[in-house]
Amino acid sequence: MSKLKVTIVSLIILVFVVAGCSLKNHFSQNDEEKWNNQPTISANKSARKKKSVHPDDEALQVVSTPEAIPVLINKNHTLPDGYRPTDLVYPDIPFTFEKKTEKRKLREKAADAIENLFSGAKKDGVDLLGVSAYRSHEAQTVLFNYYVSLDGYEAARTYSAIPGTSEHETGLAIDVTGGDGKCAAEDCFAGTPEAEWLEKHSAEYGFIIRYPNGKDDVTGYKYEPWHLRYVGKSIAKQIMNSGITLEEYLKATPVNN
Ligand SMILES: [Zn+2]
């Protein structure tokens, strides 16, 4: 490794040590959304080499069509190593931050749909902000390995997604919050007028509330009213109208977290 690479890796680790110390006290367990409050980092090829492999993960199935719009990614279904969508674009929506970074990006169809959703909400007097959308495999790997170094593999996987199993890596998921920017990816977003509007109208634009209330044993995640997943209008309406999850729609085995 060159001196420059060593320096970059050291800086990334330092950023996470500083950020992670304050975050660990703030968040509850099982919260992959910690990422939303992380500083932006640059992807580094050396990160992938450090990917943690663990015998318990043999049950993980690698999805064969990662680019499919209804692709199922969860704690049992992972993206192929290093998968990166080829049609990532910047949606024209406001975020909680100003910088034009990778975490604003979405795949083209999802980007068009979120622009329509935001303008539809605005017409109803509901202001929304993006919090975090695309996350690269490298970024998730750096984050996850940092938590492993702190707490060990088993503890880390209870609150951070194993690289490849975060829906944000598909470019089809986005966390949103209300126009005041408060409760960004936090439990207090539940029950707000914005959360209620999303519950009622997301499907009209092709999105689902991916981790509904009371479905932890199916999705593997607690209620996240802020995490929207693009699946297309037809599937979204079927899922949201019948109060089911993507797992149930695809007749996949529940995660049983
Ligand atoms: Zn999310």
Q: What is the 3-state secondary structure (H, E, C) of 92-114?
A: CCCECCCCCCHHHCEEHHHHHHH
CA distance 208 to 203: 6
Report pLDDT for 57: 61
The three-state secondary structure class of 200 is: helix
Backbone angles phi, psi at 153, to 5 degrees: -60, -50
Q: Identity (one letter) of the amino acid at 60?
A: L
pLDDT tens-digit profile of 96-153? Answer: 999 999 999 999 999 999 999 999 999 999 999 999 999 999 988 998 999 999 999 9
CA distance 101 to 71: 25
| Banded model confidence at residue 58, pLDDT cuts 50, 70, 90 | low
| Banded model confidence at residue 254, pLDDT cuts 50, 70, 90 | confident
Q: Out of 194, 224, 247, 248, pick the active-site residue.
A: 224
Question: Average pLDDT over the chain, rounded to whole?
Answer: 83
| Tokens representing residue 16 in the block | 């996470």
Quote the percentage of the chain above a pLDDT of 90.
67
Report pLDDT for 152: 95
Cβ contact 142:15 at 8 Å: no
Report pLDDT for 56: 52
The CA radius of gyration of the chain, in Å to the nearest whole number, is 17
Query: What average pLDDT does this structure show over 234-241?
Result: 97
Quote the percentage of the chain above a pLDDT of 70.
77
What is the whole-number distance in angstroms between the Cα of residue 4 and the centre of ligand 1?
A: 33
What is the whole-number distance in angstroms between the Cα of residue 54 and the centre of ligand 1?
A: 24
Residue 42 predicted with pLDDT over 60:
no
The three-state secondary structure class of 181 is: coil
Contacts of 97 (CB under 8 A, 6+ apart): none
What are the domain boundaries of the chain?
3-42+72-249
224 annotated active-site: yes
Query: What average pLDDT does this structure show over 208-212?
Result: 97
What is the whole-number distance in angstroms between the Cα of residue 161 and the centre of ligand 1?
A: 11
| Banded model confidence at residue 37, pLDDT cuts 50, 70, 90 | very low
Query: What average pLDDT does this structure show over 37-52?
Result: 38
| Banded model confidence at residue 3, pLDDT cuts 50, 70, 90 | low
Its CATH class, for the domain covering 3-42+72-249, is alpha beta
| Tokens representing residue 123 in the block | 């017409």
Residue 16 predicted with pLDDT over 60:
no
